[in-house]
Amino acid sequence: MSNKNKGIFHILLAAFFFSLMSFMVKMSGDLPVMQKAFFRNAIASLMAIMILAGTEEKFKIKKGSVPMLLIRSVCGTIGIVCNFYAIDHMHIADANMLNKLSPFFAIIASIFILKEKAYKKDWLIVLVAFCGALFVMKPSFSMKAVPAVVGAAGGLGAGMAYTFVRRLGKHGERGPVIIMFFSVMSTLFCLPFMILDYHPMNWQQILILLGAGCAAAGGQLNVTAAYRYAPAKEISVFDYSQVVFAALLGMIFLGEVPDGLSVIGYILIIGAAVYRWADGRK
């Protein structure tokens, strides 16, 4: 198998694991978002610490990385919490699709954070993606629109986080350090909220949330492996298979069928991503 095919294989695995995480978050029932996020991050923290402990440099952080790591952690935590809230109140496919706005938010964030230049076609891609988001969100002046707005805010948080991951990469920081720092900081952030509003769980809910944490860790490990084998311009578009996996899980186990407007939104957002991927390959 070529390195490119290995990269595609791992990005597809990552997409499946992240969609499985979304499904398990939904299946864990009526629990506070922070409680769900704590379990997701705690499992990821343990796995990241074990991986980093096995590296040659251990937990050494490059000089000047801490401020960027903190900002990345804050943005990433906001992304996770908003995404979990959207999953609890929307179809999981819709919530995942809004979270996949993150690359388009990253285009905008890169202009200010990385001082990168955006061309007319970049702005056109962003505009098409955001038009697709409106079809998924179905904006209105009722409270029904709140989960969709929060879900889009999760995409913004994730996009900002990815921009700082790129900046840390240019700074020379190691990938495992970025993952570990984010996972631990996010866990510590969620802990006091969980303690203040803890809801007792039965053994099924505990197992499901532990599974969600393991699925998230599996997704993160496969994303890391994917981009080790192949550059983003070659394989990033396959990450959108997460929406397909989420839609299938939602339809089979939860009876969630995306409506026509959501499907139009999916086509616009994924279409914009495919165009950007094809243009990047050129």
Q: In the 3-class helix/strand/coil scheme, how is 226-281 assigned residue by residue?
A: HHHHCCHHHHHHHHHHHHHHHHHHHHHHHCCCCCHHHHHHHHHHHHHHHHHHHHHH
Q: Across residues 65-92, what is the average pLDDT?
A: 94
Instruction: Give the pLDDT confidence score for residue 54 in this predicted structure.
Output: 85
What percent helix, strand, coil does the chain show, rounded to 5?
Answer: 80, 0, 20
> 107 or 15: whose pLDDT is higher?
15
Instruction: Give the pLDDT confidence score for residue 112 in this predicted structure.
Output: 85
Instruction: Give the pLDDT confidence score for residue 135 in this predicted structure.
Output: 93
The whole-angstrom separation of Cα 93 and Cα 175 is: 28
- Per-residue pLDDT band for 141 (boundaries 50, 70, 90) equals low
Q: Across residues 97-116, what is the average pLDDT?
A: 88
Mean of per-residue pLDDT scores for the chain: 90
Instruction: Give the pLDDT confidence score for residue 174 in this predicted structure.
Output: 85
Q: Is 1 exposed, middle or buried (0-12, 13-18, 19+ CB in 10 A)?
A: exposed
Instruction: Give the pLDDT confidence score for residue 217 in this predicted structure.
Output: 86
Look at residue 106 and tell me whether its pLDDT is greater than 90. Answer: no
Q: Across residues 81-95, what is the average pLDDT?
A: 95
Domains of the chain by residue range: 3-281
Closest among 122, 98, 102, 118 to 110, alpha carbons compared: 118
Look at residue 57 and tell me whether its pLDDT is greater than 90. Answer: no
Instruction: Give the pLDDT confidence score for residue 32 in this predicted structure.
Output: 95
> 3 or 282: whose pLDDT is higher?
3
Instruction: Give the pLDDT confidence score for residue 223 in this predicted structure.
Output: 84
- The rounded percent of the chain whose pLDDT value lies above 90 is 57
Give residue-wise pLDDT tens across range 154-210: 999 999 998 898 888 888 888 888 888 999 999 999 999 999 999 999 999 999 999
Look at residue 35 and tell me whether its pLDDT is greater than 80. Answer: yes
Token output for 44: 């990821």
